[in-house]
Amino acid sequence: MTVINIKTPMSKEDRKKLKAGDHVQISGTIYTGRDAAHKRMIEALKKGSPLPVDFTDQLIYYVGPSPAKPGEIIGSAGPTTSGRMDAYTPELLEKGLGGMIGKGNRSEKVINSMMNHVAVYFGCVGGAGALLQSCIKSVEILAYEDLGTEAIRKIEVENFPAIVVIDTQGNNLYETERKKYLK
């Protein structure tokens, strides 16, 4: 199996090259955020306030890590279910967000918005929090510290393994792969 190495931030051109089913390893800066942080960001946008991060060409990782043990920078850090962020994602894509990392399918609305804004959705292995933690090299809390595990963090990752699940054309592995094994 070939693995494509990608670096963040990812330009539209880079994103367009990825196809559903590609196995990738992501290196560079990514941002964490899940339910509560998304809710707050969208409320900020409604009030006309700026987002805490410029998401242009960046990736958001849907994760709420477990606490770091002494001497470590973060605890277990696997993906959470992306569908809960569906209500908020199109607005972030409009602000330039280049892609998302999580688990589970996305709504039609999100997929359409991804196609309009040339965004990619990556899936990684749910539950594999201990393994994925070892790809995280630094962690900094950027915003909403009071949300604890749900705060927005800036993390540096190295060779973070993921699969392109929905590409910029809207090809969706959840649709295509299942058919091959349906009996």
Q: List contacts with ligand SF4 (CB under 6 A).
A: 78, 126-127
Nearest-approach distance from CB 48 to other proteins, in angstroms:
25
Nearest-approach distance from CB 12 to other proteins, in angstroms:
25
Tell how strand 136-143 and strand 3-7 pair up.
unpaired
| Binding-residue total with other proteins (CB under 8 A) | 46
Backbone angles phi, psi at 24, to 5 degrees: -130, 165
Nearest-approach distance from CB 127 to ligand SF4, in angstroms:
3
Tokens found for residue 102: 């999580």
x-marked contacts with other proteins along 34-53 as a string, rule CB under 8 A: --x-----------------
Can you tell me the distance from the alpha carbon of 106 to that of 88, in angstroms, rounded to the nearest whole number?
Answer: 12
Locus of tokens 């539950």: 127
For residue 16, what is the enclosing H or E element? helix 12-17
174 SS3 class? helix
The neighbouring-strand residues paired with 30 are 155
For residue 86, what is the enclosing H or E element? none
By CB under 8 A, tell whether 131 contacts other proteins. yes
By CB under 8 A, tell whether 5 contacts other proteins. no
Amino acid at 16: K
Residue 65 touches which of other proteins, ligand SF4, none (CB < 5 to 8 A by kind)? other proteins
Residues that bind other proteins in the complex, under the rule CB under 8 A = 1, 21, 23, 36, 63-69, 75-78, 80-81, 83, 103-105, 123, 125-131, 133-134, 148-149, 161, 163, 165, 173-174, 176-183
